[in-house]
Structure 1
Amino acid sequence: MENKLNIANLPTKIERLENFSKDLNLNLFIKRDDQTGSEVSGNKIRKLEYSIKEALDLGCDTLITCGGSQSNHARSTVAAGIKVGMSTTLVLKSDVPPKIDGNFFIDKLLGADIKIITSQEYSQNRHEIMESLKNEMLTNGKKAYIIPEGASNGIGSLGYISFMKEIIDFENSTGTSFDTIVVAVGSGGTYAGIHMGNQIYCNGNKRIVGFNVCDDADFFVEKIKDIIKESSIYLDSSDQQKLTFKNIEIIDGYVGIGYAESKEEELDFISMLARTEGVILDPVYTGKAMFGLVNEIKKGSFKTSKNILFVHTGGLFGLFPKKDQFKF
């Protein structure tokens, strides 16, 4: 699992949310994967270190990937590609011309080749569109490598198996043991990697909880299973034998009005956390997931948890296009 690039600033910091911990009567910590870098900030770079290394090993010179117009993954892919001498073509969904703001602004600044398609085209044909681009590039003498949405596939998820080593190192050095790890789920790869890392390194002893920000829990349980199957081919036989589909836990009910759409109470929560802890969440992933976590703690869904670790997967740039929706 060490056949990867080294682009991210790792290990990322773990800090205790002091005020929230007091209010909730448990220990709530946050893993700052929003601080993996600047241009490549967020959880995606852990996956891209593996995906882009495979692309280079295959002799590719171009990356193709997809996402929404404010995709953190797309922005991170472009920046990481530049660092290793690769150009990137983005297939982004938007039913209206995207505003040059947030992640889309950074994509432009970094010089990405961008193809905008409708949400219907994205849902039904994005894979075929990316394959067509790959074939077109081949006729022009370029060799492209396709990275799926969120780098959420077998090789990408290896980045979050390795993530668990950082957790163990922190626990060993501080004496703090996390019984529960919580993460937003938007494409399944981050959760799949943490789930596998928990089984490989911790004998499955930690509770891994995901809050889906799109689709539903059943959809992601099946998708995570598929990613685990795909990831297993990269593991040695002893680690493969430790993998199971047991205890995949996704808590539904916090998608709100839709993917990347924000309710007033979600934005109010992001503002409140910023003023309470000095930590800024994003409106697409971590804002919804932390909002869900706090609500579920108050409902008693985490009454057996004493030390919870929330994974901050990044997304700061995605806040700026929503600035007019906040009420100050």
Structure 2
Amino acid sequence: MGEVAKSVAKVEEGFLGLMRPYKPPSWALHLNPIPSHVFSLAHVPTPIHKWNVPGTPANTEVYIKREDLCGVQLSGNKARKLEFLLADAVSHGSDCVITMGGMQSNHCRATAVAARYLNLDCFLILCMYESQTERDPGLAGNLLIERLVGAHVEVVSWEAFAKYGSSGLLNSLKKQLEKNGRRPYIIPVGGSNSLGTWGYIEAVREIEQQLQQPEFDEMTFDSIVAPCGSSGTVVGLSLGSWLSTLKAEAKGLGYASSSTEELVFIKEVAEATGVILDPVYSGKAAYGFVKDMRENPKKWEGKRVLFIHTGGIFALYDKATKVMSNMVGRWKRMDINESIPLKDASECW
């Protein structure tokens, strides 16, 4: 049996899904290369619903596409990229994957989970401050999920990342694994390459199909607002032209660093709408988007906007005990009136 056949057989042992031939939308046929196969990993289509986010100007309608609901451990937009990247890994006969990111990388967590679905080993290179590299990285947020599913975690300093770059570090680990007889497949930081981009092409096709359903009555959006880039930059996209329509930046203090104002905003949105944003991408993007609506209401009045929630809730756990404990009060010991009758012996727990 060839290596590719062995990899496919190993995947079939660990996953009930299907690697199927890929057929792109007609408007993407001019792109090259077109993927040959794709896995079905995410729970799609992810829903679109109205979002009464605080700060919306009069006569402005905001909707939200819930990419955070494409799975539990796999949640977020990265799952769409991985459907194509892991299909390519299996087709090349790989028995493990390597990728890289920050300590609370949503991409690394999604890769570890998706690889386990497919019975592939996963090796993660996670960046942290030099002073922390000699001790256990802990179990906060995404790290807990990664380590629960058995990912191999390799920690490096941000200084090493700056010196060697992601390509140098990923290829170095690849060579080490190959010396041990492994067949690794490198997934770039964030899954960001031409193959991974097809995941977003599928997301656009999905939105088009959803808007044709009776409940949307062929609705159109004036703008689509989505988090992108490692600094949480807010970008507004027009469905038809893909031109940027919103020039607001929300990177704040930088990647994975949250200001008090951003965290307070996340708390306000959760309390007002039940939608929980993440502190690295969707929270920063929504904060910048709403800030712009509040400061420039005339620009948004009468508009219909779709916000893409790209997931990442697990990174919020890393912030919880450090900076959010004083934001989420509303607890006290219950006052029990002594006149309450005692529990009946026949009652369950």
Residue deviations 1:70-113 (CA, integer Å, cap 9, x gap): 11110110110111111010000011243321101111111111
Q: How many residues align?
A: 280
Give the secondary-structure state (helix, strand or coil) at the position aligned to 1:157: helix
2:150 paired residue among 101, 105, 111: 111
Give the secondary-structure state (helix, strand or coil) at the position aligned to 2:300: coil
Give the secondary-structure state (helix, strand or coil) at the position aligned to 2:207: helix
Counterpart amino acid of 2:300?
K
Counterpart CA distance in 2 for 1:51 and 1:146 is: 9
2:97 paired residue among 41, 57, 63: 63
Q: CA deviation at 1:37?
A: 0.5
Give the secondary-structure state (helix, strand or coil) at the position aligned to 2:314: helix
Specify whether residues 22 and 136 from structure 1 end up closer, same or farther in structure 2 by C-alpha distance, changes over 3 A only.
closer
Equivalent position of 2:26 in the other structure: none
8 A Cα contact 1:24 1:298, kept in partner: no
RMSD: 2.3
295-304 vs 179-188, greater mean Cα deviation: 295-304
8 A Cα contact 1:179 1:305, kept in partner: no
1:274 paired residue among 251, 270, 275: 270
Counterpart CA distance in 1 for 2:295 and 2:279 is: 23
Equivalent position of 2:188 in the other structure: 148
Equivalent position of 1:180 in the other structure: 223
8 A Cα contact 2:102 2:128, kept in partner: yes
Q: Do structure 1's residue 288 and structure 2's residue 284 form an aligned pair?
A: yes
8 A Cα contact 2:106 2:142, kept in partner: yes
Give the secondary-structure state (helix, strand or coil) at the position aligned to 1:65: strand
Task: Give the % identical residues.
Answer: 36
Counterpart CA distance in 1 for 2:187 and 2:58 is: 40
Residue deviations 1:11-65 (CA, integer Å, cap 9, x gap): 0011101354865531101100001101111110000000000011111111000
Q: Do structure 1's residue 87 and structure 2's residue 121 form an aligned pair?
A: yes
Counterpart CA distance in 2 for 1:178 and 1:21 is: 19
Give the secondary-structure state (helix, strand or coil) at the position aligned to 2:49: strand
Equivalent position of 1:25 in the other structure: 59
Specify whether residues 120 and 19 from structure 1 end up closer, same or farther in structure 2 by C-alpha distance, changes over 3 A only.
closer
1:255 paired residue among 245, 251, 255: 251
Name stretches of at least 5 consecutive residues in structure 1 with no aligned partner. 209-246
Specify whether residues 305 and 141 from structure 1 end up closer, same or farther in structure 2 by C-alpha distance, changes over 3 A only.
farther
Counterpart CA distance in 1 for 2:244 and 2:153 is: 36
8 A Cα contact 1:20 1:28, kept in partner: no
Residue deviations 1:112-139 (CA, integer Å, cap 9, x gap): 1111000121233221111011112112
Give the secondary-structure state (helix, strand or coil) at the position aligned to 1:93: strand
Q: Do structure 1's residue 315 and structure 2's residue 312 form an aligned pair?
A: yes
Counterpart CA distance in 2 for 1:249 and 1:146 is: 34
Counterpart CA distance in 2 for 1:310 and 1:249 is: 13
8 A Cα contact 2:112 2:122, kept in partner: yes
Counterpart CA distance in 2 for 1:115 and 1:167 is: 38
Counterpart CA distance in 2 for 1:289 and 1:15 is: 18
8 A Cα contact 1:21 1:27, kept in partner: no
The structure with the greater share of residues assigned to helix is 1
17-26 vs 290-299, greater mean Cα deviation: 17-26
Give the secondary-structure state (helix, strand or coil) at the position aligned to 1:116: strand
Larger Rg: 2
